[in-house]
Structure 1
Amino acid sequence: MLTLNQAANILKQDELLREIVIGDDWRFEVPANLKDRRLQFLSYDSRRIAPDTLFMCKGLHFNEKYLEDAIDKGAVACVTENVYAGKDQNRVVQLVVNDVQKAMALLAREFYNNPQQELKVIGFTGTKGKTTSVYFARHLLNEVFDHKVAQLSSIAECLDGEHFEEAHLTTPESLDLFRMMRQAADNGMKYLIMEVSSQAYKKSRVYGLHFDIGIFLNIAADHISPVEHPSFEDYLYCKSQLILNSSKVIINRECPYYDLLAQKALAAGNQVISFGSSQSNADYRYVVDSPHEFHVATFSSQQLQLTGRFKINIPGTFNDSNALAALIVGRQFSDDTVAFAKGLEKTTVPGRMEMLSNQRGLLACVDYAHNYLSLNESFKYMKNTYPNGRLIVVIGAAGGKAESRRKDIGEALAKYADVAILTSEDNFFEDPHKIDEEIKAHIDNPDVEVHINVDRAKAIQDAFNMACPGDVMFMAAKGREQFMHEKGRDIPYVGDYQLTQKLMREYDE
C-alpha cells in the first residue's frame, strides 16, 4: 500500500515527476487533504481495477478511454505522460511524469515492499540460451536449497518452487514482476532466476532492479525492427545494461563483444567472471567428452574452484556452455558439485530440443529456435548427429517485428536444410504469405527444396508425408505453445510438440 504523497515523493526522488494535476489545479506538492489518500491497488489494465487504484496510462499511443473506464471502476489517481483534460478530469489525481514505464517500476517496487531485498536475484540475458540456462540453474540450485528457487522464463513461471504457470512475456512488465517477486518471497523462496530480455531494458521493465548475479550468454543481430531495436548497437546497448546493474557479472569469453562488456562491468565496480570452451582463455572452461557429457576446470586463482564431470540430457553441444554458466552461478552459493550434477542431469526444458522418434525410424526435433544464432547451432548439431538423412525444417517468422530475422532464417536454411517448409509462426497483423516469400528470397541455395504452407498444422503433416527413415524433421519456434497470435487475438493451436507426438504414433501404424 502507498499513500498519494508517498507515490509523489518516490517519483520526485528519481526526477520523474513533472507536475500534479487535479482538475484545473496544477501543482508540484500533493494537497494536504490528499496526502494520506491510500492507493490500495496498482494496475495498467483497465479491466483489472479495484477501489482506490493507481492507474498507469502505459503505451506509446495510450487511449484515454482506458483511463475513463478505470476511473468509472474505482481508480482515484493515475500516472501519465500527457495531461488528461476529458470529462473525468475532476475525478482523478494526475501524476504527470517524464516516463510512465520507469515510474511504474519504481512505484511497483515500493508498493510491494522491495521484495528483491528478500531474494538472491539472478538474471540471464543473451540472444539464445536464456531459457535453457534458467532451467539448468533452477534445477541445480534446487538440489542444494530444497526447492527454494523461483523462476521467471519465457515458457513458465514458478513462484513456490513446485507449481508452474504459462508465461506471457520473456520478462514481465515491472508491475507484474515486483508483484510476482513479492509472492515468491512470501512463499519462502530465497532465490529468483529469471530471463532478462533486451526489451526489459528498452521498456524499463527492470528499471530500479539490481541483480546479485547477471549472466551474459552471447549476442547476435536480432530483434531489429521499427518496433523493437532500430539497430544492432541499440540491441547490444540494451542487453549490456544487465552488466551495469549486477554485483557479479558472468560473461561468455567467446562473445565477440566480451572486452566491451567486461570494461563496462569493471567501470561500474562489478566483479567479472568469464566462462567458455577449452579454446578460450576464460576463468572457467568446459571440454566436451561425448554427446551429453563434459568436464569443467578452473583456470583462475581468483575464482572459486569448480571442477568435475557433468551430464545433461538436452541435445546440442551449445548446451554444455549454457550448463557451465548455470554451474558458475551455483558455485557462488555452494560447493556441492555432486548436487549440481544431479540437478543438471534432471533438467528438461519443455519445447527445447525435444527429440521424438518412432519404430519406423522417423526422427523429429521440436525447439523454440527462431533467430540465426539459435538456428545455426541447432541445424549444425542435427546435420552432424544425423549425417545420412535429410534435414526437413518447418519454420516461419513472427509478423510485425524483428524483420531482419527473415533474412537470417533464409540464410540458415540455405546453409543447412535439405527441405524447407515455410509456414506461419505468430503472424500478428501481417500476411503470412508475404513473410514466407521474404524468407524464401534469402534461400539462395538451389539444392534446398522449398515449400510454402501457411497452415502450420498442415505444414507439419507435410513434413511427415515426405520424411523417410533416417531423415530428421525440425519444428522451429513454437515448441509446446498452444496458441498463435493472429490479428490481435490468441488463436488456439495444437502445439508443435503435441502434434508431432501424435503424428509419430500415427505414422508408426
Structure 2
Amino acid sequence: MALSVATAVELLDKHHLLREIIQGRTWSRNPARFAGADEELTSITYDTRQVQAGTLLCCKGRFKAEYLSGCDERGLKAYVSETDFSADCDAVGIIVTDSRKAMSLLSAQFYGRPQDELALIGITGTKGKTTTAYFVQAILNAASDGKAALFSSVDNCLDGHTYVASALTTPESMDAFRMMRQAVDNGMRYLVMEVSSQAYKVDRVYGLTFDVGAFLNISPDHISPIEHPTFEDYLYCKRQITANSKALVLGADCDHADLIEEDAAAAHVPVTTFALHNEGRGNGTKADTVAWPADKDHTAFHIDVAGTDMPAESRTDTDAPRSTANPQNQRADATDLPDGSDIYKLDMDGDFNYANAAAALTIARIAGANIGYRSISHALENVRISGRMEQFKDSHGPNIAIVDYAHNFASVSALIDFVIERYGAKSPRITLVSGSAGGKAVDRRQEIIEAAQHRVDSIIITTDDPDRERAEDICETMQSAVTDPDVQASIVVDRQKAVETAIAEARAHDGFDVILIVGKGEEQWLKVDGRHAPYEGDTYIVTRLFS
C-alpha cells in the first residue's frame, strides 16, 4: 500500500493514534475533504531541511513552529504532529496522540514494511549487547552466505560485509526502516540489532516484533533526569522486548529473571536460557545453553547448545526458510558432538565474552541457522570489535594495556574480574583510566569509581564525551567518590595526556603493570558542546607509545 495522506490517516486511525486532520479552517477526520489526499507521498522525513515537493514531515521531540519556515515554498504536503501548526504553514496537519509512535508506523509503511522480509533478532541488556550482536551476525552470515545485516552501537552493516560507524545504539524508527529497506534491497535475509532501553522509552522500535529477542542481563545504568528516572523505569523499558518477540533468549543468571519469565508467560513467548559455568539460579534450575572453561587459563570454552545435535560437518544451508521460533525447543540431555568439537576460542578475552558467545549460539539456532561446528567456530574466532577487550603489550617492557568500551559499574567490574583472574598470580599493579559522559547516566560517575577503587592501585580520571557539561566538573565529581585511602586518584583532563601519563607511570614502576583504558574504545572523537571534537583515539595512542 503506497503512502498518501489518506492511507496515512487510515493507518493511524486503525492504531488509535488519530485525533483529527487540520488545514486552515477545515477540521475533520475524513481525508476526502482535503485536496490531493490520495496522491502518493514522495518522501518522509523528520528534518525540515529535507522537505521537498510531496514530503510528509514528522514533527517529533521539541519541534518548534519556526522550523516550518520555508516549507510551504518547498512543497510540504503534510505534517504529523501532536500540535496544530495551521497558523504556521499551509500543509495538511495530521494531528495525533503520539508523534513518535505515528512516525514509526508511517515510516514502516512508506518503506514497504521491510521488516516482513527479514528475520529480526533484537538484543538488549546492560552489557554485552554489541559483542553478542556481532557474534550472531557472524554465525548467520556463515549460514546464509553473507546475508545478515547489523544495527549496533559501533557500526551498521546493510550488506553483510560493509561496516559504517553508527550514531545511536538503536536508530530512530524512520532511519531504521529506511536502512531495513536498503538491507532487503541488498539481498539480506536477517537483521541483528541492539535494542536499547531508550529505543522502547521513545518508541524507536514501536510496531516491531522480533523473531528472536534476547535479554542478556540487567544492572543499574542510564539513570538520569533525561533518560530513566529510576532503575525500575530502566528495567521496565528493557522488559518490553519480551512481549514484542516470538521467542526469548534469557540469561539464566540475570537479575529479575523470574520477572522476565513472568512477562514471557503472560505473552505466551517461549524462553530459552543460557549461562556461564552452569551454576543455575540457586533453585536447582539449570540453563538450557551452558558455557564452561575448556582449560585452566580460560582461553577456550565448551558450549553445550540448547536442544541441538549440532552437525560435525561444516555445512551451509543457504536455502533455509525464514526463521520461526520453535516453542518445543528443549535442552539436550547430553552433548552429542564429536569429542572436542564443542570447544570454541575467541579473539576477544574474558569469560563474559564466552557467555555472550553462548547467547549468540542459542539465538542463531532459534533463528534457523543450519550450519556445522567448524563453520561456527571459524565465524566466532574471527569476530573482532574495535575497542572491545583489545590487549596491547609494551615493546619496552612487561606491561600490557587493555582498551575497552566499559563505561558502567557492571562492565568495569567484569573487566577487573578478568584482569585478576588472568593476571592475578603475577601481582600486577592495575591502573584505570576513565571518565564519564556528560548530560546522561550521571549515576555512572560514582559507580565506575565504586567498581574500581578497592580493586585497582591507581585511577586517572579524564575526559569522556562531556558534551555540554564541563569536563572538569565531571572529573571532580568522580574524584569526590573516591573513599579508599589506598588508591591513588588523580585528574588529567586532557585524555591523550591521561593515557600517556598512565603508560609513563607504569614504565616507571618496577614490576608488572596492567593499564585499563575504558569508555571510548577506538573512537577518534570526543563529544564536546554537541559536536565531535577530533581525538587521536585510545587504541591509536597505545599503539603509538607501545610500538
- In the alignment, does 2:530 pair up with 1:488? yes
1:294-328 CA-partner distances (Å, limit 9, x unpaired): 11235779526576221112011111100000011
Shift of 1:267: 1.1
The one of 344, 353, 356 aligned to 1:322? 356
Q: Distance in 2 between matches of 1:423 and 1:121?
A: 39
Shift of 1:69: 4.4
Shift of 1:424: 0.9
- In the alignment, does 2:391 pair up with 1:355? yes
1:403-430 CA-partner distances (Å, limit 9, x unpaired): 1111111101213221111111111111
1:146-182 CA-partner distances (Å, limit 9, x unpaired): 1111011000011001111110000000000011111
> Which residues in structure 2 correspond to 1:258-407 (within 5 Å)?
258-277=257-276, 278-280=278-280, 281-290=286-295, 291-297=298-304, 302-303=329-330, 305=332, 308-332=342-366, 333=368, 334-360=370-396, 361-387=398-424, 388-407=427-446
Which has the higher mean CA deviation after the structures are superposed, 105-114 or 67-76? 67-76
Task: Give the letter aligned to residue 9 of structure 1.
Answer: E
> Which residues in structure 2 correspond to 1:45-194 (within 5 Å)?
45-59=47-61, 61-88=62-89, 91-194=90-193
Kindly indicate whether the alpha-carbon contact (under 8 Å) linking 2:435 and 2:464 is maintained by their aligned counterparts in 1.
Answer: yes
Residue of structure 2 equivalent to 1:17: 18
* Structure 1 residues 112 and 317, CA gap change in structure 2 (3 angstroms): same
Shift of 1:2: 1.1
Which has the higher mean CA deviation after the structures are superposed, 321-330 or 288-297? 288-297
> Which residues in structure 2 correspond to 1:28-47 (within 5 Å)?
28-30=29-31, 31=33, 33-47=35-49
Q: Distance in 2 between matches of 1:295 and 1:314?
A: 16
What percentage of aligned pairs have identical amino acids? 41
Q: Distance in 2 between matches of 1:434 and 1:32?
A: 55
Tell me the SS of whatever aligns to 2:21.
Answer: strand
Kindly indicate whether the alpha-carbon contact (under 8 Å) linking 1:413 and 1:443 is maintained by their aligned counterparts in 2.
Answer: no
- In the alignment, does 2:423 pair up with 1:418? no
* Structure 1 residues 54 and 457, CA gap change in structure 2 (3 angstroms): same
Structure 2 gap segments, 5+ residues each: 281-285, 308-327
Structure 1 gap segments, 5+ residues each: none
Which has the higher mean CA deviation after the structures are superposed, 330-339 or 131-140? 330-339
Kindly indicate whether the alpha-carbon contact (under 8 Å) linking 1:122 and 1:212 is maintained by their aligned counterparts in 2.
Answer: yes
Shift of 1:336: 2.1
The one of 513, 516, 520 aligned to 1:471? 513
Kindly indicate whether the alpha-carbon contact (under 8 Å) linking 1:395 and 1:424 is maintained by their aligned counterparts in 2.
Answer: yes
Shift of 1:85: 4.3
Tell me the SS of whatever aligns to 2:302.
Answer: strand
Kindly indicate whether the alpha-carbon contact (under 8 Å) linking 1:313 and 1:347 is maintained by their aligned counterparts in 2.
Answer: yes
* Structure 1 residues 446 and 70, CA gap change in structure 2 (3 angstroms): farther
Q: Distance in 2 between matches of 1:369 and 1:398?
A: 12
**TM-score, normalized by length of structure 2?**
0.89
Task: Give the letter aligned to residue 479 of structure 2.
Answer: K
Tell me the SS of whatever aligns to 2:476.
Answer: helix
Q: Distance in 2 between matches of 1:42 and 1:125?
A: 28
Number of equivalences? 502
Q: Which has the higher strand share?
A: 1
* Structure 1 residues 286 and 9, CA gap change in structure 2 (3 angstroms): same
Q: Distance in 2 between matches of 1:99 and 1:72?
A: 27
Tell me the SS of whatever aligns to 2:57.
Answer: strand
Kindly indicate whether the alpha-carbon contact (under 8 Å) linking 1:292 and 1:313 is maintained by their aligned counterparts in 2.
Answer: no
Task: Give the letter aligned to residue 54 of structure 1.
Answer: L
Tell me the SS of whatever aligns to 2:35.
Answer: helix
After TM superposition, which residue ranges in structure 1, 4 or more long, deviate above 6 angstroms? Answer: none
Shift of 1:67: 2.4
Kindly indicate whether the alpha-carbon contact (under 8 Å) linking 2:213 and 2:241 is maintained by their aligned counterparts in 1.
Answer: yes
Residue of structure 1 equivalent to 2:492: 453
Q: Distance in 2 between matches of 1:204 and 1:75?
A: 25
**TM-score, normalized by length of structure 1?**
0.96
Question: In angstroms, what is the RMSD of aligned CA positions?
Answer: 1.6
* Structure 1 residues 279 and 454, CA gap change in structure 2 (3 angstroms): same
Which has the higher mean CA deviation after the structures are superposed, 37-46 or 382-391? 382-391
Which has the higher mean CA deviation after the structures are superposed, 428-437 or 288-297? 288-297
